[in-house]
């Protein structure tokens, strides 16, 4: 799948695989420096190669990347089944999404949301859920646009720039 930006740049979406390992770590390091709104942090250790190898090949997860013309990873999303064998909770899935600052507002987030929902429906999931910092208006507006609701608030989950931040629980029931 491709996305052509207004300036003509072509972006390519595809599933991540273990050959993307170095690209992914570089991307996560950059994301950590650019945004306080993900779980990544500056100075974090690289992901373990064996963990990546396993999870990228897993049928219970989707890792999707978007690459620019230089084949740099500029955005990624993931969705996974939380507890696949659980008798009561096996139909819940959790997602995450990150785009490099230079590519905000180009529609990448929307493509990711659609692809993750498609995957969740194929897996017969009942629910998609996630967490978002309460001040992350760009992300919240993307999620609301894609049919998610704010279901609750967790107080003071992150200490950022000298201030406590709340998080929202967001979710969508797949009908």
Ligand X SMILES: CC(C)(COP(=O)(O)OP(=O)(O)OC[C@H]1O[C@@H](n2cnc3c(N)ncnc32)[C@H](O)[C@@H]1OP(=O)(O)O)[C@@H](O)C(=O)NCCC(=O)NCCS
Which listed residue (30, 37, 76, 78) binds ligand X by CB under 6 A?
37
Q: Round to whole Å and give the CA distance between 32 and 28.
A: 6
Q: Is 79 in the site for ligand X (CB under 6 A)?
A: no
| Residues from 132 through 151 that contact ligand X (CB under 6 A) | 132, 136-139, 141-142, 145
Which of 109, 117, 120, 172 is the binder for ligand X (CB under 6 A)? 109
Assess 49 for contact with ligand X (CB under 6 A). no
Nearest to ligand X of 57, 160 (CB atom): 160
Q: What is the pairing mode between strands 92-99 and 127-133? A: parallel
Scored b (16 or more CB within 10 A) or e, 57-95 reads eeeebbbbbbbbeeeebbbbbbbbbeeeeeeeeebbbeb
Q: Which residues bind ligand X (CB under 6 A)?
A: 35, 37-38, 97-99, 104-110, 132, 136-139, 141-142, 145
């Amino acid at each position: 799948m491709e996305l052509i930006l207004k300036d003509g740049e072509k972006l390519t979406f595809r599933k991540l695989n273990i050959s993307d390992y170095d690209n992914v770590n570089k991307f996560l390091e950059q994301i950590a420096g650019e945004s306080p709104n993900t779980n990544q942090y500056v100075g974090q250790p690289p992901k373990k190669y064996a963990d990546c190898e396993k999870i990228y090949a897993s049928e219970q997860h989707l890792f999707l990347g978007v690459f620019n013309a230089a084949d740099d990873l500029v955005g990624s999303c993931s969705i996974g089944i939380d507890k696949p064998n659980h008798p009561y909770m096996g139909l819940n899935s959790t997602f995450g999404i990150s785009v490099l600052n230079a590519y905000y507002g180009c529609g990448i987030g929307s493509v990711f949301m659609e692809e993750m929902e498609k995957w969740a429906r194929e897996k017969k999931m009942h629910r998609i859920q996630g967490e978002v910092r309460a001040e992350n208006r760009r992300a919240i507006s993307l999620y609301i646009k894609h049919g998610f609701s704010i279901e609750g608030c967790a107080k003071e989950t992150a200490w950022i720039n000298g201030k406590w931040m709340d998080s929202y629980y967001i979710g969508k029931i797949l009908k």
